Structure 1
């Protein structure tokens, strides 16, 4: 066991305890109260740093920036003093008189002398259709007109012939009248002669028979004259029908000529073409959409809510930003307001005669004329989306 203790490493000397002066018999010193050390976390030492004083110009700039920010918020939210001065909507579009070009006749397209998006003038040829059939129809109509005019001329000649025959019948009536006069004179002489026996009864009867024959001849001549008059009237009445036939033939000729003219399709007005939808050699029928002509006269249709149009009137200033032009703004004026809400022009009207009713704000279309002499106005195209603003404080009010 002694050997094991010898082999163990010597233990470290423990730290000596502080000597107790009382226990050591040293004279006790008078105890003085020790001051507590300050805690920097609880009671930090006083600092001498102060923020630098702001200059007067800096204060003015800060106030000005704050005021501009407040005004911007008021303007964005349309709060006083900016409330009620302008109305805006993004339900607005550029509009124009887009004309759809369609043929009025059917046939094969023989030529298309224009290109996509080309500028055209009024009357310029856009396409042509094979016109051989329509030329033949025009020739046929012209022949029909000639035939009807010949019939009308024959009627005039027949009238003149009937009138000449009537003159001859007048002469026949005069001859019969003369024969009757002579027969009546013979009859008067015969009555006197038969009374004194100068002539026989047989001669008297012959004279009487001649008188009766003369009377009958006069009646026959007058009847022939009446027939001749009716023949002339028949020709005159028949001429009206022939004149109507001539007019109908001429109308058919005009229709055939119109169809022939319509084989050449022309631009109705100045403008720019859309994409060409027909090619040479294609067969088209009447009403087939070939292309469109877009005039350069455009305007803006803005659909405002009905509550926004309370102070709008014709002549008020407006401005609109165009999405296709990077938000560029153009100016204009209100030209007119729609006479009814958009729902009134719908094909299917909404039926609100039920118990479940939800009030929906209606839209009133406002037409805005674009001010002239604006370079960007030439780049406007029908169908572009815009954001319209109307200054209701400008111009008259309703």
Structure 2
């Protein structure tokens, strides 16, 4: 047994290596796969590192020079077409989506009342001109009256002189007869006649003095009327008289109202929101339609507040529209930044003083002017979405 045990141990020791010999053959694929995995992970890491370095270099050299947003929309300064006077619509010459040129007829209003107003204003002007002519002629007549009153005064003075002479003569004659009457040299009849003659001369003298006073007063009245009439026309002509100018202004207003019965396009554009029909009576200020100037559009790009540090007026902007896609680019320039964020001008502004306040990054509209030639080649419409990118390194 003692000899058997070594033998058994020898057999067992020989058998053991035979049993363990296949193990290296089984570990070789696993080791190979582990090496490949390490190489793959290393390659991916290298690619990520290269990508990170490349992105960092690109952002430093190129990406940091631009800011962009897709929160941008086409806008325009539309023209609201409204009548200037109340009238009935006689004709509507345009329809929605129709392109019009500046000066094209849009709407015609009934001009019957306006024509009557023009005729009335013309009559008022003619009347004012005639009245001015009459006033001028009245001045000449009043001047003649003043001269006539001067002649009356001269005649009254002559009559006064004659009356004074008759009075003195009658007085002297009466006194002489009174002295002779006691001696009987003068009869009572002669004394009575002398007394009556003196009384008559005295009355004639008073009448002559009254006539002078009356002639002087009449001349003063005529002179006052002449002065007042001259004040109305002094320094003026038929063309510059205030009454004539007022009548001319009314006539000009009436003619302007007549012209306003034909409503014309104030600019080139496209008709939209037409809400007027023939036979409708419109009032001043009633919106009849809108004109969108499609050749003068702009873009309001809403950038985040953290993007606006280096944005300046005049910087170039590259834009694309969802309508045409990325194949069509528009080029514009920054023309201004809004005076407030969109939320600050909202109908119901946010109340940040409440207890449940949460900070939200605000956006500020940036106005971008577009190239008219590019708009003509690829027309846009108000409200379309745009992507905008500003070169913040460019100098304006």
TM-score (norm 1): 0.70
Task: Give SS of 1:227's match.
Answer: helix
Q: Judging changes above 3 Å, is the alpha-carbon distance between structure 1 residues 168 and 198 closer, same or farther for their aligned structure 2 residues?
A: farther
**In 1, distance between residues paired with 2:219 and 2:121?**
41
**Where does residue 133 of structure 1 map in the other structure?**
113
Compute the displacement of 1:222 (Å). Answer: 0.8
**Where does residue 19 of structure 1 map in the other structure?**
none
Out of 3, 11, 27, the position equivalent to 1:33 is: 11
Out of 262, 274, 296, the position equivalent to 1:264 is: 262
**In 2, distance between residues paired with 1:194 and 1:101?**
101
Q: Judging changes above 3 Å, is the alpha-carbon distance between structure 1 residues 388 and 198 closer, same or farther for their aligned structure 2 residues?
A: farther
Aligned residues of 2:153 and 2:215 also touching (Cα < 8 A): yes
**In 1, distance between residues paired with 2:347 and 2:126?**
51
Out of 280, 285, 293, the position equivalent to 1:283 is: 280
**Where does residue 3 of structure 1 map in the other structure?**
none
Q: Which runs of 5+ in 2 are unaligned?
A: 37-41, 180-193, 235-240
**In 1, distance between residues paired with 2:27 and 2:98?**
86
Matches within 5 A, 1:76-91: 84-91=64-71
TM-score (norm 2): 0.70
**Where does residue 231 of structure 1 map in the other structure?**
225
Q: More displaced, 317-326 or 133-142?
A: 133-142
**In 2, distance between residues paired with 1:267 and 1:137?**
25
1:312 maps to 2:273 = no
1:118 maps to 2:94 = no
**Where does residue 336 of structure 1 map in the other structure?**
336
Compute the displacement of 1:113 (Å). Answer: 3.5
Compute the displacement of 1:189 (Å). Answer: 7.6
**In 2, distance between residues paired with 1:360 and 1:171?**
100
Q: More displaced, 375-384 or 127-136?
A: 375-384
**In 1, distance between residues paired with 2:22 and 2:281?**
99
Q: Judging changes above 3 Å, is the alpha-carbon distance between structure 1 residues 302 and 191 closer, same or farther for their aligned structure 2 residues?
A: farther
Question: Alpha carbon RMSD of aligned pairs, Å?
Answer: 4.5
**In 1, distance between residues paired with 2:217 and 2:26?**
153
Aligned residues of 1:106 and 1:283 also touching (Cα < 8 A): no
Compute the displacement of 1:178 (Å). Answer: 3.2
**In 2, distance between residues paired with 1:382 and 1:86?**
26
Compute the displacement of 1:81 (Å). Answer: 6.0
Q: Judging changes above 3 Å, is the alpha-carbon distance between structure 1 residues 361 and 187 closer, same or farther for their aligned structure 2 residues?
A: farther
Out of 201, 214, 234, the position equivalent to 2:208 is: 214
Q: Judging changes above 3 Å, is the alpha-carbon distance between structure 1 residues 83 and 194 closer, same or farther for their aligned structure 2 residues?
A: farther
Q: Judging changes above 3 Å, is the alpha-carbon distance between structure 1 residues 353 and 150 closer, same or farther for their aligned structure 2 residues?
A: farther
**Where does residue 50 of structure 2 map in the other structure?**
67
Compute the displacement of 1:262 (Å). Answer: 2.0
Q: Which runs of 5+ in 1 are unaligned?
A: 1-21, 53-58
